C-alpha cells in the first residue's frame, strides 16, 4: 500500500469524510484509494489552514490517502505529468474531486 498526501478540491454535495473511497484516475489507470485523514482545510479568504473532520462542496483541503494499488506519483512542483491534476471519481459519483499530489509518497 502507498500513503500519499494530496490537496483535494471536493465537488460533491455529500461531505468527504475519512474512510471515504475514491477511484482517482491517472491517465487510463484507476487507483483504489481511501481517505485516511483530513489534515486541514484552506480558508480562501485568509489562506489559513483550519482543522477539519470533513470537506464540503468546493472546499480545498490537505488529505492523507491510502492507495490500494501501486502507482507512481510525484509532487506537482516536481513533475506535472505524474503529480498534476488527477480526476477522482467516487465509487458511485462522477467527478467527485480534483486531486493534486503535493508531498512525497511513503510506502506503508
* Cβ pair 38, 55 in contact under 8 A: yes
Mean pLDDT over all residues of the chain?
78
pLDDT for the residue 108: 46
* Cβ pair 15, 56 in contact under 8 A: yes
What's the total number of domains in the chain?
Answer: 1
Phi and psi at residue 72, in whole multiples of 5°?
-100, 120
Indicate which CATH number applies to the domain containing 56: 2.40.30.10
What does the alpha-carbon distance between residue 31 and residue 44 come to, in Å, rounded to a whole number? 29
pLDDT for the residue 52: 95
* Domain containing residue 16: 2-107
Residue of 91 and 3 predicted with greater confidence: 3
CA distance to 47, 86, 88, per residue, from 76 (Å): 19, 11, 16
This prediction's pTM: 0.75
pLDDT for the residue 70: 76
Mean pLDDT of the region 12-36: 85
Give whichever of 42-51, 60-69, 71-80 has the largest mean pLDDT: 42-51
CA distance to 11, 29, 30, 44, 69, per residue, from 39 (Å): 18, 26, 24, 16, 22
Mean pLDDT of the region 16-42: 87
Amino acid at each position: 500500500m502507498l500513503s500519499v498526501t494530496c490537496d483535494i478540491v471536493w465537488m460533491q454535495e455529500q461531505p468527504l469524510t475519512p474512510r471515504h473511497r475514491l477511484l482517482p484516475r491517472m491517465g487510463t489507470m484507476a487507483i483504489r484509494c481511501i481517505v485516511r485523514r483530513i489534515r486541514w482545510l484552506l480558508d480562501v479568504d485568509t489562506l489559513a489552514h483550519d482543522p477539519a473532520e470533513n470537506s464540503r462542496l468546493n472546499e480545498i483541503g490537505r488529505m492523507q490517502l491510502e492507495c490500494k494499488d501501486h502507482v507512481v506519483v510525484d509532487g506537482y512542483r516536481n513533475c506535472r505529468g505524474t503529480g498534476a491534476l488527477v480526476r477522482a471519481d467516487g465509487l458511485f459519483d462522477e467527478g467527485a474531486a480534483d486531486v493534486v499530489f503535493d508531498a512525497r509518497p511513503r510506502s506503508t
